[in-house]
């Protein structure tokens, strides 16, 4: 079959151009489908952008949705010997603290040394038993004679997770000793060590606090922390004390010289920062709304809108979310003295929907009645409070059964249908063009044959006439 480039050679007609025109005309019927595909693809991408923007706002909303923010406190110590951390319910005030003793973990060290860490000490298999106080169960460690070197004992103890840590100390002169330290501080965590099965190993590392002769000696004594808080004696097995003062954890670093002071003050900065971050995230979400619904007016007489319009212009899903958010912020239904965000310095621009913060007014509201601000913003954490209600809606909108997913699924389904329409129409056009080409080729062949016959007959007539 002749190619398109050779069409018309036999007939003298411009069949190639005619075929190109017919093809272009048929292909133009695909343009409306292609335009729809581009529009729905842009919508699909826009829903992804909307989902990401809502997720970012959800992060800031979750951060603000904490009642502890509004009862937060800060701590200051007059001495580096101790510090403190608080929960949101700590009571502001001053406390007099004196630390006379820090809690220590017991350390036992062998009294005799070994010339290296690889030579076995025991001549027979043995069992090491480590017993700590405080009601802890004894831990037994089976040890072969071949594995009874310093390194073997160390590794066996550490692998047993017996609540102690073993190490090897190089004491100089090519001599090594075994050291075992309790993982926990406090007098109750003092240990005893016994070895059965090999007397040499028992003599080397056995330890009984009641015995006069032991293989190990106490190089660090197990002891509790001792301190006074407001002149009340306190003893604790740990240097981190969480049960002496309600909602305050003391962290002891050293002993003090006389009485020192711990000051707990209200800290509104955390709540203020969270509110401002929430406003910033909300405004960023509004910017995304504006971008996705952008409208550009067109000149009179044009048939189509500007291509710079937002992909979700007029979209009901986005409008629903935007309207519901605005409603939540304007109808707080608070049971506190604060009924609107404007009362704490957060106001809305009616033209853009974006929020702004009056820092002075916000700081004043938090200093005067932080609990009232919390009631309006957080509520009961279940059904009331701005961030609580917003959070529930965000969770719903972003869920796999939410309105964004439903809209996305709808667009994806439409795109699949458009793809099927496009492919079917394209296949039909290809078939039609192939048929036109075949018909044009037949016409070319037929015209070429007729032209050849005509030329032959003309030649015969001319020859006959010349003979006459």
State pLDDT tens for residues 355-370.
Answer: 999 999 999 999 999 9
Looking only at the bridges linking them, the beta strands covering 346-348 and 73-77 are: unpaired
Decide if 168 contacts 179 (C-beta within 8 A).
yes
The structural domains of the chain, with segments of one domain joined by +, span: 1-72+268-294+308-442, 73-102+225-266, 107-220
| pLDDT class of 182 with cuts at 50, 70, 90 | very high
For the sheet containing 82-86, what is the strand order? 82-86, 248-252, 240-245
* Sequence-separated (6 or more) residues with CB below 8 Å from residue 307: none
Flag whether pLDDT at 129 surpasses 90: yes
Half-sphere exposure of 232 (CA within 13 A, CB side): 5
Decide if 216 contacts 190 (C-beta within 8 A).
no
Tokens, residue 181: 């330290």
Flag whether pLDDT at 3 surpasses 50: no
Q: For residue range 302-337, what is the model confidence (pLDDT) as tens digits?
A: 545 456 788 888 889 999 999 999 999 887 778 888
Average pLDDT in the 53-65 region?
95
Flag whether pLDDT at 46 surpasses 60: yes
| pLDDT class of 272 with cuts at 50, 70, 90 | very high
- Choice between 351 and 180, residue whose per-residue pLDDT is larger: 180
Q: Around Cβ 125, how many Cβ atoms within 10 Å?
A: 14
| % of the chain with per-residue pLDDT over 70 | 88
Average pLDDT in the 222-248 region?
95
Average pLDDT in the 273-288 region?
96
Nearest by Cα to 408 from 395, 419, 398: 398
Q: Output DSSP code: residue 278.
A: H
Decide if 221 contacts 230 (C-beta within 8 A).
no
**Distance in Å from the first CA to the final CA of the chain:** 44
The pLDDT value given to residue 169: 97
| % of the chain with per-residue pLDDT over 90 | 62
CA distance 241 to 237: 9
The pLDDT value given to residue 436: 67
Flag whether pLDDT at 1 surpasses 70: no
CA 38 to centroid of chain Cα atoms = 32
Flag whether pLDDT at 212 surpasses 90: no
| pLDDT class of 25 with cuts at 50, 70, 90 | confident
User: What is residue 182's three-state secondary structure?
Assistant: strand
* Residue indicated by tokens 């319910």: 89
User: What is residue 417's three-state secondary structure?
Assistant: helix
Q: Output DSSP code: residue 207.
A: B
Average pLDDT in the 368-380 region?
93
Q: For residue range 243-253, what is the model confidence (pLDDT) as tens digits?
A: 999 999 999 99
pTM above 0.85, yes or no: no
Query: Residue 20: what are its φ and ψ, rounded to 5°?
Result: -60, -40
Specify the length of the chain in residues.
468
CA distance 175 to 267: 56
The pLDDT value given to residue 2: 39
Q: Which residues pair with 216 in a beta bridge?
A: 110
Quote the mean pLDDT of the chain: 87
Q: For residue range 394-442, what is the model confidence (pLDDT) as tens digits?
A: 999 999 999 999 988 888 888 787 777 767 777 777 777 777 677 766 7
Q: Which residues pair with 191 in a beta bridge?
A: 132
Nearest by Cα to 130 from 158, 102, 88: 158
């Amino acid at each position: 079959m002749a190619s398109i480039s050779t069409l018309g050679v036999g007939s003298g007609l411009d069949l190639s151009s005619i075929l190109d025109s017919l093809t272009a005309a048929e292909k133009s019927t695909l343009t409306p489908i292609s335009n729809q595909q581009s529009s729905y693809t842009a919508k699909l991408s826009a829903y992804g952008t909307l989902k990401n923007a809502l997720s970012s706002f959800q992060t800031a909303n979750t951060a603000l949705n904490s009642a502890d923010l509004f009862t937060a406190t800060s701590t200051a110590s007059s001495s580096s010997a101790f510090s403190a951390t608080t929960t949101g319910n700590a009571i502001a005030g001053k406390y007099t603290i004196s630390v006379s003793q820090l809690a220590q973990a017991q350390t036992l060290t062998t009294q005799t040394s070994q010339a290296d860490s690889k030579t076995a000490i025991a001549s027979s298999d043995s069992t090491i038993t480590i017993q700590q106080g405080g009601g802890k169960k004894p831990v037994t460690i089976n040890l072969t004679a071949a594995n009874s070197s310093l390194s073997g004992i160390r590794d066996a103890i550490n692998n047993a997770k017996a609540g102690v840590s073993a190490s090897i100390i190089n004491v100089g002169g090519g001599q090594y000793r075994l050291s075992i330290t309790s993982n926990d501080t406090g007098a109750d965590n003092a240990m005893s060590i016994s070895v059965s099965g090999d007397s040499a190993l028992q003599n080397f590392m056995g330890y009984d606090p009641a015995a006069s002769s032991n293989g190990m000696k106490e190089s660090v004594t197990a002891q509790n922390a001792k301190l006074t808080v407001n002149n009340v004696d306190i003893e604790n097995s740990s240097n981190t004390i969480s049960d002496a003062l309600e909602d305050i954890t003391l962290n002891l670093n050293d002993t003090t010289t006389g009485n020192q002071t711990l000051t707990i003050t209200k800290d509104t900065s955390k709540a203020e920062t969270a509110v401002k971050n929430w406003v910033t995230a909300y405004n960023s979400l509004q910017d995304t709304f504006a971008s996705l619904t952008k409208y550009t007016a067109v000149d009179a007489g044009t048939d189509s809108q500007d291509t710079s319009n937002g992909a979700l212009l007029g979209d009901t899903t986005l409008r629903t979310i935007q309207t519901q958010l605005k409603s939540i912020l304007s109808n707080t239904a608070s049971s506190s003295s604060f009924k609107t965000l404007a009362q704490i310095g957060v106001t809305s621009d009616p033209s853009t929907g974006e929020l702004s913060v009056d820092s002075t007014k916000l700081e004043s509201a938090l200093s005067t009645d932080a609990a009232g601000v919390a009631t309006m913003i957080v509520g009961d954490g279940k059904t009331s409070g701005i961030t609580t209600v917003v959070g529930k809606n965000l969770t719903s909108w972003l869920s796999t059964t939410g309105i964004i997913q439903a809209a996305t699924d709808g667009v994806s389904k439409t795109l699949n249908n458009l793809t099927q329409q496009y492919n079917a129409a394209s296949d039909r056009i290809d078939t039609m063009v192939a048929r036109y080409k075949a018909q044009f080729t037949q016409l070319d062949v037929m015209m070429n044959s007729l032209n050849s016959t005509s030329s032959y007959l003309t030649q015969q007539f001319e020859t006959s006439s010349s003979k006459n």
